[in-house]
Structure 1
Amino acid sequence: MKKLSILLKGIVVGFVSCAIPGVSASTFAIILGVYYTMIESISMILKNFKKSMGFLVFMLLGYAIGALLAAILVSTIYDKYPLAIVIIIICFIVGSLPNMIKDLIPHIKKVSGWIVFIVIVGLFIAYSGFVVKHEEITFVDMNYVDYIKLLIIGLITSITLVIPGMDFAVVLLSLGYYYAIMDLMKNLLFLNDVLNNLLILGTYLVGYGVGCFLLSNLIKKLVKKHEAIMKFATFAFVVVSPYMIIKKCIIDNDGFYYSNGQLIVGIIIGIIALLSVMLMYRLTNKDDKRVNAMKKRNMLRFYFTLIRELPVTFYYLIKMKKMTKKQELTFEEKYAFCQKILAKVNKLGNVYPVVVGLENVDKNATLYIVNHQGRYDGIGALSALKDFPCSFIADKKRICWPFYRELSTLLEAIELELDNPRSEIKALQEMSEGLINGRSYLAFIEGKYEDNGNNLQEFKTGVLKTAYRAKVKITPVVLYDTYLVYGKSSIKKISPEIHFLKPIEYEEFAEINRKELADIIKEKMQNEINIINTRKGV
């Protein structure tokens, strides 16, 4: 299963690298959690051959399959819809610019960086004018000079594997070899002139392979020692590539043709492509390059949920906004609608919560005290209470995103500013009144989460005041593995657990102080976590 996973990730990286200019293979490898393993395997291949090849064989095989699929897609569609493809490719590239500019801002005054930028842009413009001018690069009637050129192209493009942000397709486009390479792979797949095409591809791969193995350590050192200059170099490749594409595919192409339909389709898909690339760059924290830290912070499942059925996402978001303005709706009606959305979110995200202890829940006013692990906690706890309407109290800063904001409004959530004592007093007073009037509330007693996983943090006793004032029962709720939902680089099926413990009636805590009550709740929750840990063998 592990080898199959590596193969599938290789297919994704290969396809994206060749088919989507602007999204580099290394960036997407980071998203999928295989980048650092890949670089380590390449650099350690002589010292630990067996282990390195055990990973690289399946990764490279997957990459080759993905690249072949990309070649068929790009070559076939480009022949029929050249303008649309040019627009889409340029939009993919432009979508990567904001992230690159953001990275360059701290180095904006670095003169050496701008010199490198100008030199690279100038060289490519000169290359397009003197080498590629009025010339379609093909692999027909090649002589030894052409093979040497191809070897050098392989060497140059190999650096895209080790520099995050530098894109294989963009570099090939800048050099004028992109469509020639795509056509070559398509012809190989359809068994056209196999021996000759294998020789040509083999020449390129020799250059690429030599570059990967010989340059990987050098490039890593350069990136580490001259990070800013390497960022300017990457930026230069990206900035110059739209010019190279337009010049080669449109200005210097006498056979170029287009239609209004191509233009419209290209613009629509191009905008989607641009936004998608910008979204992809938010999937990783590039400042923290530790594999485990990257996985913890990765929001792949969240974005996958949004993108998987994009029209449905927009439909529900618009409908939620409209419902927030309908004053005639009862709380129960709004709650039922929100539950439909939460069920959809779970299904699209491949999340199947396991709910335990619903026999401890009823529709009477209850303060649910919940531990906090991550961004999914509110969704998980609320979806578990499908048939038991309740609201929640939350930090205003945590619910500022679309969907969370609308969900908060529909469920009449109480918002507070954690660093504002007056706001907290007002929020707790409002919550007490809601409990007195029969409303149930979810409260995350730890306040915040900080990569704490299934470990309980310090309990904040302030929220317990509301149970004393309203004289309502408290039901401890244990969330287990919910931090993995939006904190792991995976979209595999996941089953976080939500456990409702036996309620603590008001009469049981009326005579003790909040600190003692918090200790009792924490002990009950920790005991439940210990039971789950034992069951799971943790």
Structure 2
Amino acid sequence: VGILRILKLARSFRKHPEQHTREVRQRRVRSLVSNLLRVLNIQPTEYNRKFVPKGAALIVANHKSNVDALSLIKLLGSGESVVPLTFVTKTELSKKKVTKAVLELLEAVMLDRESPREAGEAALAISERLRQGYQVCVFAEGTRNDDPNIIGEFKAGALKPAYRAYRAILPVSIVFSENVLSKKGPLDLLLHLVKERKLDLLDLDVRSLADQYLTMVTTNASTNLEEITEYLGMATYLIELKSRMVIPPPGELGGQNEADLERDRLVARLLEYSSYKAVIPGFYELWEKRSRIYLKRASALDQDIVFNQEAPLPEGVDPIKIHTAMQKIYDRLEE
């Protein structure tokens, strides 16, 4: 019901923005987020609330998971004096209907990370939001980083809008949200349990792992049908494997039974998936470097080069040697 109301409010806001005050829109979004976090059994906790400005400010935070923004809306939207909150976010999020509606109601600043021109326009829009009294949150790393021990490099220019608008800057550290079941699959959870319990993958106790997995899934149950189906599918697989290891089927009592072979397949699958995850940060780093490179379209040579046949060659330059060098270059090109 809350989602339908948000969608309806967003449609009305697009047509008649003057009819919906900022306070009402902010309150509706906070209500939706509070209900969503309660359903997902997520209870964010804040520390050092006394440092949060009571007016407009640029909130610079790291980014661990998809619940980071929800947690900030929940925490910053509580208390005696509530300041309007908005976000700087990538344009890809506007492709999802509900997310787009929420971002529109918050008057979020949309950023196309591949367009330098839009980046400049977004910086001006952030400064304007700050002047309008918003607290603007920017995830300065530019992408999610679920490694609990690493904070990524902050993007250059993330703080400039606050300087332009003469507003406070509030650094925020988000921790542990990467453990929430969001945008992760069953294999991620299994690897998390293996790492947390300091288990040896090559000598894995599947029965113990199955019990811990079931406990984790039931404690952090998701309402997303597609997502929870994946976790329950893995849970069913682990339960079956555990039962076959405890009571092997007839005919498998001697030697290595099918359950042991299946356990080895699971271990191999986890090792392979772990190796894939290990190289992903390298690809992110390459993508970040590539995003900082801007190409200029090729133009005709005669537009950039002015030939002056009457101009003398510099002293010491032998035209014969120049001709010989150019001929060698052409010969190589033909090869």
TM-score by length of structure 1 reads 0.32
The 8 Å contact of residues 373 and 450 in structure 1, kept in 2 or not, is answered as yes
Between Structure 1 and Structure 2, which shows a larger proportion of helix residues?
1
Offset of 1:398 from its aligned partner? 3.0
Match of 1:365 in 2: 56
Q: Any idea what the Cα deviations from partners look like across 1:299-348, whole Å, max 9, x if unmatched?
A: xxxxxxxxxxxx55445444444455442222122111110001011011
**Per the alignment, do residues 454 and 348 of structure 1 end up closer, same or farther by CA in structure 2, a change over 3 Å counting?**
farther
**Per the alignment, do residues 409 and 353 of structure 1 end up closer, same or farther by CA in structure 2, a change over 3 Å counting?**
same
**Per the alignment, do residues 335 and 312 of structure 1 end up closer, same or farther by CA in structure 2, a change over 3 Å counting?**
closer
**Per the alignment, do residues 353 and 481 of structure 1 end up closer, same or farther by CA in structure 2, a change over 3 Å counting?**
same
Offset of 1:437 from its aligned partner? 3.3
Instruction: Find out whether 1:411 has 2:106 as its counterpart.
Output: yes
Match of 1:467 in 2: 162
The 8 Å contact of residues 2 and 32 in structure 2, kept in 1 or not, is answered as no
Match of 1:49 in 2: none
The 8 Å contact of residues 367 and 443 in structure 1, kept in 2 or not, is answered as yes
Match of 1:342 in 2: 33
Match of 2:95 in 1: 400
**Per the alignment, do residues 470 and 319 of structure 1 end up closer, same or farther by CA in structure 2, a change over 3 Å counting?**
closer
1:441 to 122, 136, 153: 136
Q: Any idea what the Cα deviations from partners look like across 1:237-274, whole Å, max 9, x if unmatched?
A: xxxxxxxxxxxxxxxxxxxxxxxxxxxxxxxxxxxxxx
Match of 2:45 in 1: 354
Uncovered stretches (5+) of structure 2, i.e. residues with no partner: 187-216, 222-335
Match of 1:513 in 2: none
**Per the alignment, do residues 312 and 430 of structure 1 end up closer, same or farther by CA in structure 2, a change over 3 Å counting?**
closer
**Partners of 2:136 and 2:54 in 1: CA distance:** 11
Offset of 1:411 from its aligned partner? 0.4
**Per the alignment, do residues 426 and 315 of structure 1 end up closer, same or farther by CA in structure 2, a change over 3 Å counting?**
closer
Match of 1:162 in 2: none
**Per the alignment, do residues 345 and 323 of structure 1 end up closer, same or farther by CA in structure 2, a change over 3 Å counting?**
farther
The secondary structure found in structure 2 opposite 1:393 is strand
Match of 2:224 in 1: none
Q: Any idea what the Cα deviations from partners look like across 1:68-100, whole Å, max 9, x if unmatched?
A: xxxxxxxxxxxxxxxxxxxxxxxxxxxxxxxxx
Amino acid at match of 1:342: V
Offset of 1:402 from its aligned partner? 2.1
The 8 Å contact of residues 454 and 481 in structure 1, kept in 2 or not, is answered as no
The 8 Å contact of residues 88 and 108 in structure 2, kept in 1 or not, is answered as yes
Match of 2:333 in 1: none
Offset of 1:487 from its aligned partner? 4.1
Offset of 1:478 from its aligned partner? 0.9
**Partners of 1:348 and 1:396 in 2: CA distance:** 27
The 8 Å contact of residues 324 and 406 in structure 1, kept in 2 or not, is answered as no
Match of 2:320 in 1: none
**Partners of 2:48 and 2:15 in 1: CA distance:** 36
Instruction: Find out whether 1:492 has 2:219 as its counterpart.
Output: yes
Alignment of 1:250-329 (within 5 A): 313-327=3-17, 328-329=19-20
Alignment of 1:38-437 (within 5 A): 313-327=3-17, 328-386=19-77, 387-437=82-132
Offset of 1:491 from its aligned partner? 5.5
Fraction of identical pairs, as percent: 26
TM-score by length of structure 2 reads 0.51
**Per the alignment, do residues 457 and 342 of structure 1 end up closer, same or farther by CA in structure 2, a change over 3 Å counting?**
same
The secondary structure found in structure 2 opposite 1:341 is helix
**Per the alignment, do residues 326 and 359 of structure 1 end up closer, same or farther by CA in structure 2, a change over 3 Å counting?**
farther
Match of 1:480 in 2: 175
The secondary structure found in structure 2 opposite 1:337 is helix
The 8 Å contact of residues 324 and 410 in structure 1, kept in 2 or not, is answered as no
Uncovered stretches (5+) of structure 1, i.e. residues with no partner: 1-310, 495-538
Match of 1:288 in 2: none
**Per the alignment, do residues 464 and 477 of structure 1 end up closer, same or farther by CA in structure 2, a change over 3 Å counting?**
same
The 8 Å contact of residues 363 and 389 in structure 1, kept in 2 or not, is answered as no
Amino acid at match of 2:49: L
Query: RMSD across aligned C-alpha pairs, in angstroms?
Result: 2.2
Amino acid at match of 2:123: L
**Per the alignment, do residues 319 and 435 of structure 1 end up closer, same or farther by CA in structure 2, a change over 3 Å counting?**
closer
**Per the alignment, do residues 411 and 353 of structure 1 end up closer, same or farther by CA in structure 2, a change over 3 Å counting?**
same
Match of 1:47 in 2: none
The 8 Å contact of residues 380 and 482 in structure 1, kept in 2 or not, is answered as no
The 8 Å contact of residues 87 and 138 in structure 2, kept in 1 or not, is answered as yes
The 8 Å contact of residues 41 and 220 in structure 2, kept in 1 or not, is answered as yes
The secondary structure found in structure 2 opposite 1:353 is coil
The secondary structure found in structure 2 opposite 1:336 is helix
**Partners of 2:128 and 2:9 in 1: CA distance:** 30
